[in-house]
Amino acid sequence: MNREDYWYIAAESSEIPRNGVVSRSILGEWLAVFRNDAGELAALQDRCLHRTAQLSRGKVVGGHLQCPYHGWTYGQDGSVSRIPSMGPEFRPGSKCAKTYEVVEKEGYIYVRLKTGSASTPFSMPCHGVHGYTTIRLQNRFKNTVTNCAENFVDIPHTTFVHPKIFRDAKHEAFGAVIVRENGSVKVTYQNERKNFGWFSWFLNPKGVEIGHTDEFFAPNITSVHYRFGGKNHFIITSQSVPVSEEETLVYTDLTYNYGIWTLPSRPLVRWQAQVIIDQDVEILNNQMKTIQKYGANFQNSPADIIHTWIESIQAEVAEGRDPRELPRRETEIRFWV
């Protein structure tokens, strides 16, 4: 397995209407993703075979993608279906643009750069389940997928980057059990009673112990679950898409069930989450600047075991090995927040 073997989100379904096209970059590869009038999707390398104009700047005509420069037109299989300057003498033949596999699932459009691996697009937890609602956000980070994913499952930063709004320093010890298995890292926290700052009067008014788990799935997904007693359940799932080596587009799903408050609270939850993510964008963009200047030589504390195990998985993927074959590891840590 390497990074090209996995599925990445190219767009939300609603971003590509019938006869619509968008331009995307995944792992540095340029893509034109378009939909025909029957709703079917295709992804072509975003480069016309003729004189290399970007196909995504063209339009979809009768379900086929037309280049904006001289009008060469491509079918969903990438084959050239029309060359206007040849008029009726054109015979569809051997010319074919590079295509990629596309799958649509749970309101996301996924693309995979390499065919043939056993990977499948991730299933977003509780998406569409009765009683739950989902809020979707997109944010661009000037940093790597691994540093973004590490941030999304990093508790010690929350009191510094998101004071008041997410978590205030209380100088309390947290316990956590960390397990690495099957290409994933799962952290189960103990004795957590308060988070989300001032928001906790709403999320956890009785101050019960929160069931909190953080998971990382190779090579780009994190999923954070909070259970506040009863049915109250809040999930933040982030799919980090490698636009290039230095840029990551993060699709975040906030999926939650708060009983009768689920729908009325949507505007507040969306606003609050975006404020928190903006703070993460700022610190992660800054981190990347120093990485570009001085390199990524990280020192670790016990709380960073989570991150070093994520990095061990990413190193396997970078080497083209299957991270599911890494030996299982489990440990318990204690850290202060």
Contacts with ligand FES, residue ranges (CB under 6 A) = 48, 50-51, 53, 67, 69-72
CA distance 159 to 65: 49
b/e for 305-322, b at 16 or more Cβ within 10 A?
Answer: bbbebbbebbebbeeeee
Shortest-Cβ-distance residue relative to Fe ion: 280
- Are residues 13 and 229 in contact, defined by beta-carbon separation less than 8 angstroms? no
CA distance 183 to 324: 4
Binding mask 259-288 for Fe ion (x = CB under 5 A): ---------------------x--------
Counting contacts by CB under 5 A, is residue 304 touching Fe ion? no
CA distance 272 to 137: 12
- By beta-carbon proximity to ligand FES, the closer residue of 70 and 98 is 70
53 binds, among Fe ion, ligand FES, none (CB under 5 to 8 A by kind): ligand FES
Q: Over the Cα atoms of the chain, what is R_g?
A: 22
- By beta-carbon proximity to ligand FES, the closer residue of 71 and 125 is 71
- Are residues 332 and 174 in contact, defined by beta-carbon separation less than 8 angstroms? no
Distance in Å, CB of 91 to ligand FES, minimum: 17
CA distance 322 to 242: 19
- By beta-carbon proximity to ligand FES, the closer residue of 51 and 170 is 51
Counting contacts by CB under 5 A, is residue 214 touching Fe ion? no
Which residue, 152, 155, 164, is CA-closest to 190? 155
Distance in Å, CB of 303 to ligand FES, minimum: 53
- By beta-carbon proximity to ligand FES, the closer residue of 47 and 307 is 47
- By beta-carbon proximity to Fe ion, the closer residue of 280 and 304 is 280
- By beta-carbon proximity to ligand FES, the closer residue of 36 and 66 is 66
Distance in Å, CB of 327 to Fe ion, minimum: 30
Number of residues that bind Fe ion (CB under 5 A): 1
How many residues are recorded in the chain?
Answer: 337
CA distance 68 to 47: 11
Distance in Å, CB of 86 to ligand FES, minimum: 11
Counting contacts by CB under 5 A, is residue 253 touching Fe ion? no
Distance in Å, CB of 161 to Fe ion, minimum: 5
- By beta-carbon proximity to ligand FES, the closer residue of 10 and 83 is 83
280 binds, among ligand FES, Fe ion, none (CB under 5 to 8 A by kind): Fe ion
The answer to whether the bond into 219 is cis (omega within 30° of 0) is yes
Distance in Å, CB of 101 to ligand FES, minimum: 24
b/e for 56-81, b at 16 or more Cβ within 10 A?
Answer: bebebeebbbbbeeeebbbbbebbbb
Distance in Å, CB of 67 to ligand FES, minimum: 3
CA distance 284 to 102: 30
Return residues touching Fe ion (CB under 5 A).
280
